[in-house]
Amino acid sequence: MDEARWYVVHTFSGYENKVATNLETIVENRHLQDWIHEVRVPTETVVETKDGQRREVEHKVFPGYVLVKMVMSDDSWFVVRNVRGCTGFVGPNGKPVPLTEQEVAALGVEKKEIIINYAVGDTVNIIDGPLENFSGVVEEIDQEKNMVRVTISMFGRETSVELELDQAERME
């Protein structure tokens, strides 16, 4: 069996959640979990101010599109293509083209578990990014957001910087 890849499916505007739900139901009912692994509608939380009230609202990152992790075959293509509200796959002439590893990483569709070897209070070396080769002390670690806050000394001042978890490593 081929490996499952991420594909982008075009839907009618406003039907993203309905297409995703219908597809998940079809997969469940027809026992297609081996072919269609995951269905996602990427969203982001945005703070909006309306009538002086601040509130968090979920927005679709790509209106009109649903991401599907699936093993491409004639049967799985047919199932996805015939979900009500789906207009086809994204690709030349409607021919499905899987997302590349870089695209999947950039979209943040799949979370990679990052193992860190440092804790709050440890001295770390910054190994990537504009502050490479600086060292500092870990203030805060947020695994959920893939973020570490480090205090570094820059121009004789203590400066707090936010880095991704894999941009720092413990000094031995």
pTM (whole model) above 0.85: no
CA–CA separation, 42 and 59 (whole Å): 9
Distance CA 141, CA 147 (A): 6
Residue 54 is assigned to a structural domain of this protein: yes
Looking at the structure, do residues 21 and 101 belong to the same domain, yes or no? yes
User: E-assigned strands of 52-167?
Assistant: 53-60, 65-70, 86-89, 123-126, 135-142, 147-154, 157-164
Domain endpoint, select from 107, 133, 155 = 107
pLDDT of residue 111: 59
Distance CA 165, CA 141 (A): 8
Does the pLDDT value for residue 61 go beyond 90?
no
* Structural domain for 20, as ranges: 5-107
Residues 100 and 162 in one domain: no
Q: What is the CATH number of the domain that holds 153?
A: 2.30.30.30
Same domain, residue pair 74 and 154: no
Q: Are 56 and 86 contained in the same domain?
A: yes
